[in-house]
Amino acid sequence: MGFKFENLRVWQKAVDLTGEIDLLIKTFPDDEKFALASQMKRAGDSIALNIAEGSTGQTNKEFARFLRMSIRSGIEVVGCLHLVKKPKIIDDKAFAKMYGELEELIKMIQALRKSIDN
């Protein structure tokens, strides 16, 4: 692969997560597909996109800034999960699975950020 971010495991995991988010939001009722589902999709996509954008042609300080934005987007998806869990749009099992995936991904991004800060 030709770009630095394409070889990053954290980016690959973020891309995989966007696919999982897409599958999850397809289960939402129609009245949520253009509101919270759309927000969740954009935030999920933003995780991978910020990793990609920040990784190439940037200083480590600038890359770390993009990684912080990526982390915030991940936290936004977690917030969305809580908002769809409360009214039972998703069940506890789907919530726990996606929450765990996000928790793992955010930890990976944090570790990458710390490694380039040093």
The residues spanned by each domain of the chain are 4-117
Quick: pLDDT tens for 7-64.
999 999 999 999 999 999 999 998 887 889 999 999 999 999 999 999 987 799 999 9
pTM reported for the whole predicted model: 0.93
Distance CA 105, CA 47 (A): 9
Distance CA 74, CA 38 (A): 15
CATH architecture of the region 4-117: Up-down Bundle (1.20)
